[in-house]
Structure 1
Amino acid sequence: MSFFYANQREALNQNLAELQGKINVSFEFFPPRTSEMEQTFWQSINRLIKLKPTFISVTYGANSGERTLTNSIVTAIKKYTGLDAAPHLTCIDATPNELEEIAKKYWCSGNHHIVALRGDLPPGGGRPAMYGIDLVTLLKRVGDFEISVAAYPEVHPEAKSAQSDLLNLKKKVDAGASRAITQFFFDIESYLRFRDRCVVAGIDVEIVPGILPVSNFRQLQRFAAVTNVKVPNWMHTMFDGLNDDVETRKMVGASIAMDIVKILSREGVKNFHFYTLNRADLTYAICHTLGIRSEIQTIQNVQSGAVIT
């Protein structure tokens, strides 16, 4: 290790020490669909709530059954943890009237934070009737929701251009979005350039970096192929030969994510959103390096099958 590199690492670690208590994290989960997945889900929730996240978001697929499951999960998280739980809501497979009724139910039940997305189009699906900005506008008509929306440092795969993608984000913010959470990325410069472009465009909400701790490189490559995310050559090199070595893959993935959050914290980022894939180990380790210390807090009386019925 060169003297220069050692000094860089020392500076990053010193910066983290100075930021202790000033970093906030949030976590994304997806609804478990089997009893075994449910057990893993609650074990992960149980461990990560000790880090006092600002909120937990819960995804869903584009059909009414998935929406019902997401609602059950969000209700259970709030009941058992007291944390802010934000359901994802998309425009796919729902009419404006149906979305308005869903929003009213969330508002009346005390769920005032929603992650508003257009959603993935089904295979063979044509032009959607609504987009993210339409959903943000609809939600604000129903109530003064806290609304998180998506942002794409490396450009949405369906966008006509980087500029049109940026303007679309500005429209969502102008319509009432509270923050933007980015697609996961590994090219740090792409995030920093995007953040600068947001400032120039007059986007005045925080651009929260989405962090994906990688433990399965093949899975990552599939994700990246459909989301227009660049996987740098150095990542291919780091994961080369590790297809059958789960533990080493986890160590490599954690190291990459730790370096990303260290560098971004030096650049003034104070909030990070982790795509957990319903597992706590890597996310917990990374948060520990951020100086976020756990507190004694556990979920009480969560029964098997409390969500899946």
Structure 2
Amino acid sequence: MTDPQPVYSFELFPPKTPEGFAKLKGQVERLAALGPRYFSVTYGAGGSTRAGTFETVDWLRSRQIDTAPHLACIGSTRAEVRELLRRYRDQGIQRLVALRGDLPSGMGTGAAGEFRYANELVSFIRAEHGDHFAIEVAAYPEFHPQAPNPNRDLDNFVRKVDAGADAAITQYFYNADAYFGFVDACRERGVTVPIVPGIMPITNYAQLARFSDACGAEIPRWIRRRLEGFGDDLGSLRAFGHDVVLALCRRLLEGGAPGLHFYTMNQSSPTQRLWRELGLTDPGKIANSQ
């Protein structure tokens, strides 16, 4: 189910409050007007946002919006995953983002469930549903923070592809060379699936630094120092951040990236501006509407 056309997509996370969900609806309406291929919806550690994920997915589907729920296997049994797959298939969902996921803090490894790694989840989905779902998996151009080295991380990625993944979405990054180097290494290993760059708009330095420290995504020193220098000047910080991410997207697309996956953080404006200045239109979305 590999797609030869560029794929542009948006990621959402489930709001925690009714007020947050009401706000999200407005953001989605504005983002959906841009014509992305699909929206993905995250799934918290150990299923911690399960109810919110379902509510968000249900609302998106009620709006006839193509949706790719995240499915994290850590902390889940095969029976639980089987039920989730049945639920999503009955909703007409045809795309999933299959992840290992993390245990909630405070839970020991004994609560990890019946799956240890994402490749086991991908194999299970294929065994249960054949080619019904297009399966996206995660990739780490700067390698996973829990991997002992880049080669081991690449081995893990290859196993996910060999298990039946159709494509990959990367962790966000700000060094295009890291992405292109990772893609080259994958091609040398015989991996041919599309590897779509994950794009994180820069709107809040403290939040970005916290996320990056937790997930191992590098903020290049020159970018970090400039962001630090803006202090409380939020307007200048966002203008600089926009220029950095816009230049990154342009280089990725010019270098042959098979699309872009925007981590919207449930905010429409930063992604809308990038989308419009890049002149993006999803050809698959247009073809499907004709």
TM-score > 0.5 by shorter chain: yes
Shift in Å at residue 214 of structure 1? 1.0
Tell which deviates more after alignment, 250-259 or 275-284: 250-259
Please give the alpha-carbon distance, in whole angstroms, between the structure 2 residues aligned to 1:169 and 1:108.
29
Q: 2:122 aligns with which of 128, 136, 142?
A: 136
Counterpart secondary structure, 1:51: coil
For 1:119-268, list aligned pairs within 5 A: 119-124=101-106, 125-126=108-109, 128=112, 129-130=114-115, 131-143=117-129, 144=131, 145-268=133-256
Within a 5 Å distance, the mapping from 1:271-286 to structure 2 comes to 271-286=259-274
1:23/1:133 Cα in 2 relative to 1: closer, same or farther (>3 Å)?
A: closer
- Distance in 2 (CA, whole Å) between partners of 1:121 and 1:243 is 35
CA distance in 1, matches of 2:32, 2:193: 26
Question: How far off is 1:231 after superposition?
Answer: 1.1
CA distance in 2, matches of 1:66, 1:230: 27
Amino acid paired to 1:108:
D
> Is the counterpart of residue 101 in structure 1 residue 89 in structure 2?
no
Deviation at 1:65, TM superposition (A): 5.9
Offset of residue 233 of structure 1: 1.2
Matches within 5 A, 1:67-106: 67-80=50-63, 82-106=64-88
Give yes or no for contact 1:40–1:279 (8 Å, CA) kept in 2. no
Q: Residue in 1 aligned with 2:288? A: none
Does the residue aligned with 1:198 lie in a helix, a strand or coil? helix
Q: Which amino acid aligns with 2:170?
A: T
- The worse-fitting range, judged by mean Cα deviation, of 102-111 and 277-286 is 102-111
Q: So what's the TM-score if we normalise by structure 2?
A: 0.88
* Deviation, structure 1 residue 151: 0.3
Letter in 2 for 1:39: A
Q: For residue 240 of structure 1, report the CA deviation from its aligned partner.
A: 2.7
Structure possessing the higher relative contact order (Cα contacts under 8 Å, 6 or more residues apart) = 1
1:38 aligns with 2:21: yes
Residues of 1 paired with 2:273 and 2:57: CA distance? 25
User: Which stretch shows the higher mean deviation, 211-220 or 158-167?
Assistant: 158-167
Output the CA distance in 2 between the equivalents of 1:197 and 1:63: 31
C-alpha distance in structure 2 between counterparts of 1:34 and 1:251, whole Å: 30
User: What amino acid is aligned across from residue 65 of structure 2 in structure 1?
Assistant: L
* CA RMSD in angstroms, aligned pairs only: 1.8
Deviation of residue 64 (structure 1)? 4.8
CA distance in 2, matches of 1:30, 1:277: 7
How far off its partner does 1:241 sit?
3.2
User: For residues 260-289 of structure 1, what are the alpha-carbon distances to aligned partners after superposition, in whole Å with 9 as ceiling and x for unaligned?
Assistant: 011111101240000000001111100111
Residues 150-159 or 245-254, more deviating:
245-254
CA shift for structure 1 position 112: 2.1
Amino acid at match of 2:79: N
Q: How many residues are treated as equivalent by the alignment?
A: 272
Cα deviation, residue 53, structure 1: 0.6
CA contact (8 A) 1:23 1:292 kept: no
Partner residue of 2:43?
60
Unaligned runs of 5+ in 1: 1-21, 295-309
Identity of aligned residues (%): 39
Q: Distance in 1 between matches of 2:240 and 2:123?
A: 42
State the secondary structure of the residue aligned to 2:49.
helix
Offset, 1:203: 0.9
Asked if the contact 1:149/1:179 (under 8 Å) is kept, the reply is yes
| Structure 2 counterpart SS, 1:160 | coil
Higher radius of gyration, 1 or 2: 1
Query: Within 2, Cα distance between the matches of 1:237 and 1:68?
Result: 40
Q: Which residue of structure 2 lines up, in the alignment, with residue 299 of structure 1? A: none
